Structure 1
Amino acid sequence: MANDALNLNPPNATLHISTHGSDWLWAAFSIFAASLLVMIALDFLRPRGTRLFHQIAIIILTTGSLAYFSMASDLGATPIPVEFRGDGGHPTRQIWYVRYIQWFITFPLLLLEVLLTTGLSLSDILTTLFMAVTLVITGLVGALIPSTYKWGFFTFGAAALFYIWYVLLLHGSQTTFAANGIFRRSYVLASSYVAFMLLTYPICWALSEGSNVITPTSEMIWYGILDVIAGPVFLFFFVFQVNRVDYSTFGFASGKFTAPVSGSYSKAGEAGISA
């Protein structure tokens, strides 16, 4: 399948993924797609009104599946001249903007999945999600810039990442948890996991899109492993932890007329997140 993809969609840069890289991307796509189907099944097994965490996970896995299908098909990249290692002319490198579209959607949702279990105010959560968006956008803009100025955007992204770490590891863990403190230990494990995973992405960026030290195929393998661990692996761990807690203790309710009851519609209470 990899040979067919690269033949039908020829690489558009001097430095591009190999058939082995495409093979790995198809494997990663299969993991995301299979995880999506399982998560959908788990979602239907939950009672209505208790599916928030599962449905956020479904959005993340759907986005990841689409992104990896595109990358495995050698679609969604643009050639950018490399800053370093320009021996033998001015080579270009595939920069996968479709990956950043994926992260633009999934990184904030991944943080939302975790932070909704805390007692953080809505304003704190929204600011943290904005910093996740900033992290992704600065990574994309930096990757598309062929000059040294890309490292300026890398620095802005690092600053946003420090803020996310602060909220995940310090501010979030010190709040009064919505689930009466029952979920605090699981949150500490989940937030530490996410914080560590977010540390590894800038390292890969610096060695691939940034300095062109590793090949596009190595980049794909590295990012793919990180996405699988931060996506399907983490999400199944997290929803398993959530399932162990009575959903009502989180204080969530839709506030909408949704479920028909005896010919009429019942209205749920207001959501338990403060602004």
Structure 2
Amino acid sequence: MGGNGALHTNPFIVNGRTVDIHITTRGSDWYWAVMSVMGTTMLAILAISFLKPASNRLFYYILSLVAFVAMVEHYSMASNLGWVPIDVEWRRSSHLVSGVNRQIWWVRYCGWFLIWPLLSAIVLLASVVPGIQVFWTCFLSCSMAILAVVGAVVRTDYKWGYYGFWIWCWLLIGYQLIWLPRKFALALGKDVAFAHNITAGWVWMLWMLYPICWGVSEGGNVIPPDSEFIFYGILDCCLIPITSAFFLFSHWTIDPARLGLKMRTYDDPLNIHSTSNQEKMAPRGQTEGITEAGDASQRAPVTEGEVPATTA
């Protein structure tokens, strides 16, 4: 049998519960396409990395990881896997979103938890900000994903409290990602500052749209899951392939050594003392013997019956 049979192989039943508001084959088809885009992005990044020396591929490794995680995430959702049925707060009259419970995709938030801090890290590493600020921003990025999933599985209006904390983290990230690193980037050159300003502003703007999609789908049950897939899929394509393409293009002529991010290769010597230098040193016993002999030769001879003088 041809066609997309994922919804038949993996039906809408989890732990004995059936979900009312769920995706259709069209939503699954769309996420298969998005998965292909992410896989192609990963292969393209890895292929382009071979045009650079091995010591200059740090950004390529990080962005290929981002694309790989996104590929697995969308594969899971296209296969109708990685979700739980959660009762909706508002029951709508439209047949597209009518029902008691809705599909909540926990696998999506697992992807966010891994992808978002990696994107924060690559933006800040390219600006050479202090390590504690990189850690702080990555922590806030992970927090956004955690707050989103916790809010999504809450059945009551208390979910909007987590939504508010999510927005607060997003505002803090705006300062850490855009405003704070700008002088660090400018100190490294106008080309570094240009790459940082565009990339950081673009990523932060897209992260503003994710809560909007969440609010009308998992949060408010306004749009059906297929529309949710389209909304999130477009955002993911903008966040990962487009961001990766611009970032790598803008950093193509920037030497990672300027940023202190050049990786060591097998051709680079290690800064350790060679054993040959240690072998050239005289053994301790010989040195002590020479010293004692020199001291003895400087002593006055002692005649028979005379008591040798002692030093204090």
Say which SS state the counterpart of residue 94 (structure 1) adopts. strand
The corresponding residue for 1:245 is: 254
The corresponding residue for 1:8 is: 9
CA offsets 1:44-72 (integer angstroms, 9 cap, x no match):
22211111100000100000111111111
Cα distance in structure 1, aligned partners of 2:111 and 2:34: 14
The more displaced of 143-152 and 42-51 is 42-51
Count of aligned pairs between the two proteins = 263
CA offsets 1:82-138 (integer angstroms, 9 cap, x no match):
001166996110000111010100000011111111132100110010000111100
User: Structure 1 residues 67, 176: closer, same or farther in 2, change over 3 A?
Assistant: closer
The more displaced of 55-64 and 37-46 is 37-46
Q: Does 1:158 align with 2:167?
A: yes
Pick one of 266, 269, 272 that aligns with 1:266: 269
The corresponding residue for 2:48 is: 42
Cα distance in structure 1, aligned partners of 2:85 and 2:179: 40
Q: Does 1:212 align with 2:221?
A: yes
The corresponding residue for 1:70 is: 76
The corresponding residue for 2:310 is: none
Say which SS state the counterpart of residue 79 (structure 1) adopts. strand
Cα distance in structure 2, aligned partners of 1:267 and 1:130: 34
CA offsets 1:129-171 (integer angstroms, 9 cap, x no match):
0000111100000001111111111111111111001112211
Whether the 8 Å CA contact 2:185–2:196 is kept in 1: the answer is: no
Say which SS state the counterpart of residue 182 (structure 1) adopts. helix
Say which SS state the counterpart of residue 86 (structure 2) adopts. strand
Whether the 8 Å CA contact 1:180–1:249 is kept in 2: the answer is: no
TM-score by length of 1: 0.90
The corresponding residue for 2:208 is: 199
TM-score by length of 2: 0.80
Pick one of 70, 90, 100 that aligns with 1:91: 100
Question: Per-residue deviation at 1:176?
Answer: 5.0
Cα distance in structure 1, aligned partners of 2:60 and 2:262: 15
The more displaced of 241-250 and 14-23 is 241-250
Pick one of 83, 106, 130 that aligns with 1:121: 130
Identity over aligned pairs, percent: 35
The corresponding residue for 1:60 is: 66
The corresponding residue for 1:273 is: none
Whether the 8 Å CA contact 1:77–1:96 is kept in 2: the answer is: yes
Q: How does 1:180-195 map to 2 (within 5 A)?
A: 180-195=189-204
Cα distance in structure 1, aligned partners of 2:187 and 2:217: 41
The corresponding residue for 1:143 is: 152
Runs of 4+ in 1 over 2 A off after TM superposition: 86-90, 174-182, 265-268
Cα distance in structure 2, aligned partners of 1:176 and 1:91: 51
Question: Per-residue deviation at 1:248?
Answer: 1.5
What root-mean-square deviation, in Å, do the aligned CA atoms of Structure 1 and Structure 2 show?
2.0
